[in-house]
Amino acid sequence: DSGVTQTPKHLITATGQRVTLRCSPRSGDLSVYWYQQSLDQGLQFLIQYYNGEERAKGNILERFSAQQFPDLHSELNLSSLELGDSALYFCASSVGDTAGKTQYFGPGTRLLVL
């Protein structure tokens, strides 16, 4: 158990819908990262927050957004969902935002868009 929690574990929804994925980092970790794992794209970095502020952005679609709250939990919002958004979404956390800090991954949320 990495100490990072993600809810829900599974999510099934329809095209065009909007969903929210939630992540609680390890105690004491200020950085939260979101990754998407799909069969065709592999593991891709989406976005990073550090202590409530957006710190880095990767291959995140405009239909997707995220935020980190004062209690440091983070939410990833996916809207106007398409079939291709079906994937495993991971949250990871680290103590700081420097590269040397190890990222610890949560169990992931499996999203299926029908």
The stretch near another protein (CB under 8 A) out of 19-27, 53-61, 62-70, 76-84 is: 53-61
5-7: strand order across its sheet: 5-7, 19-24, 74-78, 64-68
Q: Which of 12, 43, 112, 114 binds another protein (CB under 8 A)?
A: 43
SS3 41: coil
Is residue 52 a contact residue for another protein (CB under 8 A)? no
Is residue 70 a contact residue for another protein (CB under 8 A)? no
Nearest-angstrom CA–CA distance, 72 and 43: 24
Is residue 98 a contact residue for another protein (CB under 8 A)? yes
Nearest-angstrom CA–CA distance, 57 and 68: 14
The amino acid present at 67, given as its one-letter code, is Q
Q: Which of 22, 26, 55, 73 binds another protein (CB under 8 A)?
A: 55
Nearest-angstrom CA–CA distance, 26 and 13: 28
Residues that bind another protein (CB under 8 A): 2, 33, 35, 42-45, 48, 55-59, 88, 90, 92, 97-100, 102-105, 107-108, 110
